[in-house]
Structure formats: structure tokens, C-alpha cells
Chain A
């Protein structure tokens, strides 16, 4: 290793250097000089290292060729067996280690590095393997001839030759599992006592230390490898378990050391990947960037270095710039490890990795993506290069430094949201920031972006697109969050509706419409209602008609519950002091001049419009239950206005709707209709009590009275078709003479035709009731059961009790 020839003091000094480099930017220059000196040393050591490496490889190559014949015999069977054993064993061993404690890992790492220093020194001195008494307790690789197999063994004793005192034999405790591969990575062992004495010549590798056992405890797969490979394996293992670590703070302390090893060819890919995962903004320094760039110049454009560079670029765009097109930065290796970790997690019902372990990290696609993570700060606004003091004095806190909710609360006023506004829409957390941030430029920048995107994605391209859906989805989420429609979206909607075919993005557009602010009715009518009306009448199926009415219901609801109150507050504020616009931000993200509108008038006009729309729809789709249902739901909303929102708005449903609902075959429709009438009655009574019932309501009252009379006559008083009553609206114009004659022989039945017990919609209910309570058949004729308590309960169980409420209300003496 590059650093491994350093003494302990040197090493510690270097670590300090690196750490200082990472944390204190001011010392950067000094640090840089120092590290340059280090670097020279490293380059020298690197050459030596490489020589060593080559020698060793040659040795191995020779050995491999020698053993080839042997291997052919038994490789395949063995391998299969082994791999099975391995995984099981590993599962057992790693079980305790699912929650990895960082302390352990870190200690191990320190061990590894320090001991590697010592060992390397030894190896430097004598290349040939020599065993002496001091090495008792360490591990050696041993091979047997015939058949050629390899073992790891722990040195227990040494035996000296009696003549010259040379050590010729040694006692080993073996890990009793042989391997046919000379690659240490694939060796394995079992904890079974097997002690034997072997000649020294058979030991070919060692000594290895207890470090290996501790590594082995966590991951037995490692086996006993030489230093560099251990480091490499350890790094690879860290990458694998990176997401499992509960705290990464201690790993961050090692950043400097890890970065130090980046010059090594073997370690570089793993280091890059680990640093890729680990890097935070404050760890990207001038020195590291220049070091990395030098390395890139030396080895050329390789994906892993590009990967790390791209992270550096992301954090410090003011210092480094790069581009490129890699499919992946890091190759996926160690699949077997991942698999076993996954298997073990499954066995224990833990699932930490949601999408597999370390999914291949793809190169970010910038161009066609709608938005990306808001980590990119603007290069020219960088605090590190630009007036760091001024920003510091202002107490600006960049968003990437926020790690907890408490921190967010503490620094709320000083949050620095200098990234592109729209990137903040990418996650729910950031959307909340947008909604409440103090940065007033944010809504404005967002508007420009939305205006641009909506035009590009929706206006200029026909049909639906994925990006369009994504965009609308995000807008909807944002407007749900801030409970208002962004003015830019309103403007877009107004324009889009004119050419909308009623199909593209239908659900999104209609949902957005429910959020729009209160506008003067003429604007609302021209830009929203009339395009919708056109669609409703000319080119839509019944489902779109229903959706439109449903949208209107929700819009009305939004107007009543949110917009009117907001409007009141805003107009009060603007009347008080026009200049104090900041106050308005408490109530809306987009303050606007609350024009002198009367929300109640607008809402009343809106209701009338939708009432007419429903009537038109019923004419186009006669007796469509779905449409009747949605129309009734709208009017239900209208009728409960007074009750829920205390707005004195009473608008009776249109005649066509009432007649359609009253004579339908669906009992729920009738129930809702009666509920609507009931609600209106309550509202009017209360208004009367308050004394605020003016002449303006007279028309509605007259119409409602007529409905009451007819509905009551039909459903309860057995007087359907009774003409001549001036208050009737359905039966008023029936010619009484003809009618009587026509109905003479079945008069009794006909007049009762729409009674509660015989109404076509209720016939089935009646029958079920009679069957359930096993009533005598005569009771059907006298229909006295409708007064019983049981019947009320029965209707209630079917959610039809509103019918009875209506009748009770009309029968009560107060009427």
C-alpha cells in the first residue's frame, strides 16, 4: 500500500492533515503544501508496490499452471457443494450482525491499517516466508501435495531441528476445509479441531493476523488474504452494508484516510464508490478536487472516477465542471453477498433495502427529466467562494445542512433556498418548504417555471404525455398543500379550456378547476363555465357530464369553505393598509388585490348556472340515474350551505330535476331529494327567525312551497294527480275532468301510486319489510305500517330515513 510504509507517527500526522483539510477551509493552502510533499513520497512508494505486485502475480501464475491438471478432476462438484455451504454458514454467522455497530467496524479498520503498516515492514525486510516462535497464534496458508489442496492454519508450536536449530516443522490448527482455488477469496473453513504437524516448506503464505478473524466474524467469506485485498474486500463489504449502517458519522471521520488510498489501482474503484455514497458538501475541497483531476489525467476517463467527480461537481459546481455519458458509474459486484444478506433479512422478516442492495447508480439524466433533487446550488452563488463572511453574518443556512426537523425550525427564517425553485417540488418535504418559506422570490420563480412547462408540455403538444401527467400531478399536490390554485395555473387553465377536448388529462384538469380562486362572475363565466358548458352540451358522454357536475360541486364547496373567508380577510387587509403586503402572506402564497367582489352574489350565480346545466343534462340524457345522482349531490351541497357555512344562500333545484328525482325508480334519489327540500326548509325557517328573510328570497320560497305541496301530496297524502290546487306545480295544469274520468275506476290506486309504500322506487323496500317482519297481507292495503317504529328503523338501516324526516317535519304542528 502507498501509505503502509509510513511509520505510525507519520501515519497519524497524515490523518490529521486530511481531517484538517476536510473541516477547516481556511487552512486549505497550508494543507495543500503539506499534502503535496506526502504525495511525492507516495509516488515513490507506489513504484515499489507495483514491482511487488508483479512479482507476486508471476508466482501465482506459475503455481496456477502447475495445479491445473489437479483441478480439472474435482473442481466442479466441489464448487457447487461449497457455495451452498458457504451461504448457510454465512447466514448463521451474520445473524448477530444484522445491526452493524459502527464502533466495531471502525476499530477493525484502524487495526487493519495499523497492522498492515507493521506487516508490510516485515515483508519488506524478508520476502521469503520464515516461521519463528514469535509468530505463534498467527495464521499461515499451507498446502498439501497429492492431491494439491490449500488450508488456513493457526500456528501453535514450532519445532527446531536439533542439529542447526533451524525451524523445520510446525504444529498447525487447521480450518478444516480445503479449497481447490489458489485465490484466497474463495477459501473457506469450518471450526473443527484439526491439528497437524507440517514441514515449513509447505507453508507458502503468511503470517496473517487476528485481524482476519475479526473480519471473518462479520463476514466469513473474506478468508485470509493479503493486505491490499483485505482492504479492498473490506471496502466492498462496507459498500454492501452501507445502507444498513445506523449512523455514518464515524465513517465520515475516516473520509480523509479513505481518500488517501484513492491512488491505488486496486482500491480505487471501491474507494470511489464508497466516497460516492459518503461524500457531503463540506468534504469536497479544493485539494481533493485537484487530486482527483490529477488522478483522472493519469489513468484516463474511467467510470468510477467520473462517478466521484460527478458528486463533487454536484456539491461544488463553482470549482469543477464535467459532463459525460456513462450508463453506470459503478459495476455491481459481490452479488452473492447481497443475495445472502437479502436471504437472511427475509428469514428474519427485516427489509432494510427496498430496491435491492446498492442498485447500480446510473448517470443522472438531466435533460429530459422534469425536475431533479434540489442539491445543486447555483455555482455563482457559492458561499465558499463568494462573501462567505457576509452570508455567515446574515446567518443564512443552506438547505443541505439541515438534517432534522428541529434544525429546520431553528433556522427557519434564514433558510437559503438558492437552488432552482422547481426542484423543491420533487419531494413532499420540500413542497412544505415552498408553502411556508420566507423566500418571497420562490413563488415568483415557480410561476415562471410552471408557465414555461405548462406551455411546453400541454399547450404545444397534443394528447397526453407522461411528463404532462407528472407535471399536473405535482401541481395538484402543491395546490392541495397550499389550499389555493396558483395564479399561473389559473391563467393556464383559462387558456387551455378554450381548446380542451374534454379528454386529455381530464381528471387532472377538472381537479385543478375545483381549486380556482373567486373571480368576477363574468370572468368565471367566460373563461371557465362557458367552455365547460360547450363540452357538456356538445361533445361529451354521460360520464364527463357527471364529472363536470361533480367538479362544480367541489368548486362550490371550495368557494364556500375556503375562498370566501380568505377573500374576506384579504379585502379587509387591503382596505386597512394597501402597502402592508407581507401581512397578506400569512393567508396566501400569492397575494393579490382582492377586488371589490361580492362572493355571495357570485356563488348564487354559479349555483343557478349549474342548476341550468343539470336541467340541460337531464334533457340530453333522460332519466340517467348517474346524472340525477350527481345533480342531486350538487343541490345537496347547496342546501346545506346555510347549515354548514352560515351563508344565507337558498337556491331551489330546478323543476326538471325535482320531477326526475321524484318519479325515478331509485329510492336513494328520492331520499336525497327530500333531504334537500328539508334542508332548505330548515334554512328558511331559521332565516325567518333571524328576521333576515327579505323579498329577494320570495321567488325561491314560492317555488319550494310548490315542491313541498306536490311531494307531500304524492308521497304521503295520497293525492297524486289531484289537479286544481294552485300551489301544485306538477299537477296544476292537468285537466281535472278528463283526469278524473280516466282514473275513475282505479282512482283509489292511482292516487296512491306515489305513496311511500307503493312508490315504484319503494315497492321493493315495502315488500322486504313485510317479509322481514312477517306482516299480514292486509297491511299492504291499509299501509298503516309506515307509521310504525319498526319501519323507520328499517328505512334507517337502508339509509332512507331522510324520507321520514321530511314527512315528520311537514306533519309537525309548527308547519
Chain B
């Protein structure tokens, strides 16, 4: 296992996220169990999940939106403002009055029910951008799925807004995960608009090797059961240029993957630790190295093709199973939060601070 440890340390130094020791796997759609969970209607959930599956999304993290309201009139106003902005971008130098209901790009904000899981979580927002002819240019989902709050220390500080006393945290709407699809320039304009209007920052999420390894360990052995299990594919990048080969694709049958996983993670609980993940990928790499005489420990993983979805290291995802939309989005929300939260850096020291 010596080599495994080395490998993992290689992963660690590139990780954009602080080292997380443990994660919980969520297998199915959330069940209404704890008090913090809200009751979700199955119809809404199905509609939204259906919309999200089988599309390739680029994912971003976004810091809490300042003074964002999700009531109907506000969303309408945002739609109007954004439409005008986008139309103006289409016609360079031409002023566009926000009042005139003119022809041009149309942006529509709607509430997407069924994605938010916790009761103190804001509902997800869907934004669609259509051209004059009604053709869809871009689609966005702003969501928070079972995410831990980012604003912690100062959350309880009372502030006044519109004459009412509020908590500081209430001034912000935390929708840390953005799913985006469609035209890149439109995306840029939309992001710029969001940044100026809601004082937020948007950053692309990219998956490091460790991140992809986590996903592999968590989701590789989830099978959909309805049909014959698909094999798990992993792509490895060759970091040396000009040798006539860029990537190596490897494929494993579902049985061998689950066999390896049960060996590594004998307890079968939903809580898995980083050591188990390290052992798991170490096992796969050792196996491949033995057969192909290529040091797979030194190759970074670029993409995963699992039964529940596709995950690319540039932050592109595609969920294939409707039942696992929440599984994936929960994890991605968690990653987005990790990208936003700075407080854990100072406490993530190996030695526990003396108190």
C-alpha cells in the first residue's frame, strides 16, 4: 500500500478543496425524515429532475446573492432587467429602455420546485434565455441541495432592512451551485449582470483527481437494477505531450467494481472515509499497472462514465438517472460550498488547536 499513499499525496496537493475526511453517500431521492427536511411534492420533483437529466451542464459556484428576492414580482422585474441587458448586448451601442416590451432576447426567471431539500434552504431558481423567435439560447439552474450554510459566524447579527429586523443571514440568498448550459457569451453577460446586481462572485468548479476519485468511490457501485448493469469507464490523461496517445480509457464491469468496493468498505454504511477512497482507487491503479505496465498512479483522471452519470474534470456533468439527481446535486452543492467557505482553512490543521 506504499504506492497508494504516494499517489494520494499527489492528489492532495492539487486539490482545490480543503481535505475532507469523510462524506456521506446519498443513494436515492431524499426521504422526509428529519425535522429540517421540507415536504416535497413528487410531481414537482419529477418535473424538475426530468428537466435536469440527460443534459450536459457546466457547473459553477456562486457566493450568496445579496438582496435577492424570489417572490413573483421580483422575479418578473429581474426578468425584465436582464432581458433589456441582453438585448442591449446584442445591439452594440444602442440604448434599450427597460420599460419597453420590445422584441429581443427574453430572459425568464422561474422557481424550480422540488430541488431544495432542507426547510431553511431557498428554492431553486431556473433561468431560461430565449431568442426573439422563442429558440432557447441558454438555461441556468441556481440551486442549493442539502447544503450547509456558508454564513456562520456572523449569521445571527441583527440588521434592519425595509423597516424590519432581520438576521444578517437573511439578507443573503445562498444558492451556491449553478448549472449552466448553452451559449457562452450569453453566459458571460448573465454572470456579469448577476455580479453587479447581487454583489456575488461566480467561479467555475473543476474536479481534481481526488474529487473524481471520491465520486467514483461513492457512486460506482450504485446500480439502477432495471436493466443490465453498465460498465464503469475511467479516462486517464497522459501528461506527456506528443507521444501519439492522449488518453487511456479503461472499463470495468459492475461486478468487479462492487467486489473491490465491498473489500475496501466492508461495513457497507453510508459514511465513507478518505482512506477507503484512497484504498479503492489504489486497488484499481495497482491492478491496471500490473496488467499494462503503465504507472497509472502517475496519470490524472479526466472523466468518469458511471451508471448514474458522466463527470468530466473540467466541471462538466451529465446525470443519466432521474432518481439520482439529488444524489449528484447534493454532492456538487457540497463542493460548491467548500469552494466558497474560507473558514475551514484556518481550522483544517492536522493538529487540533489547544483550547
Contact = CB atoms under 8 A, between A and B. Distances in A.
B353 A520 contact: yes
A321 interface: yes
B88 A323 contact: yes
A318 B81 contact: yes
Nearest to A520: B353
Contacts of B153: 591-593
Contacts of B355: 520, 595-596
Contacts of B159: 439-441
A471 B123 CA distance: 35
Contact of B88 (A318, A321, A439, A449): A321
Contacts of A296: 94-95
A380 B78 contact: yes
A526 B203 contact: no
B287 interface: no
Contact of B346 (A286, A390, A452, A523): A523
A586 B77 CA distance: 38
Contact of A448 (B67, B74, B201, B353): B201
A421 interface: yes
B196 A420 contact: yes
B66 A522 contact: no
B196 A376 contact: yes
Contact of B342 (A319, A488, A520, A595): A488
A582 B158 contact: yes
Nearest to A316: B98
Contact of A441 (B66, B201, B350): B66
A312 B97 CA distance: 11
Given A441-B168, A582-B157, A591-B154, A378 B349 contact: no
A441 B63 contact: no
B157 A321 contact: no
Contacts of B349: 522-523, 526-527
Interface in B153-172: 153-154, 156-160, 162-163, 168, 171-172
B81 A379 contact: yes
Nearest to B168: A440
A444 B92 contact: no
A380 B197 contact: yes
A452 B81 contact: no
A323 B158 contact: no
A326 interface: yes
A467 B89 CA distance: 26
A387 B81 contact: no
Interface string A482-494: 0000011011101
B183 interface: no
A646 B110 CA distance: 63
A415 to B, nearest CB: 13
A456 B203 contact: yes
Contacts of A418: 67
| Most chain A C-beta atoms within 10 Å of own C-beta, residue among B162, B203, B345 | B345
B171 A441 contact: yes
Nearest to A422: B199
Contacts of A453: 201
Contact of B201 (A452, A521, A593): A452
Contacts of B127: none
Given A440-B154, A494-B346, A522-B349, A292 B354 contact: no
B342 A487 contact: yes
Nearest to B188: A367
Given A321-B84, A455-B203, A491 B99 contact: no
B64 interface: yes
Contacts of B99: 286, 319
Interface in B46-100: 63-64, 66-67, 74, 77-78, 81, 84-85, 87-89, 92-99
Given A320-B97, A322-B94, A522-B353, A451 B340 contact: yes
Interface of A: 286, 289-290, 292-293, 296, 301, 306, 309, 312-313, 317-326, 366-367, 376, 378-381, 387, 390-391, 393-394, 418-421, 439-441, 443-445, 447-449, 451-453, 455-456, 487-488, 490-492, 494-495, 499, 519-523, 526-527, 579, 581-582, 590-593, 595-596
6 contacts: A321-B98, A326-B93, A366-B192, A440-B154, A582-B158, A591-B153
Interface of B: 13, 63-64, 66-67, 74, 77-78, 81, 84-85, 87-89, 92-99, 151, 153-154, 156-160, 162-163, 168, 171-172, 192, 195-201, 203, 340, 342-343, 345-347, 349-355
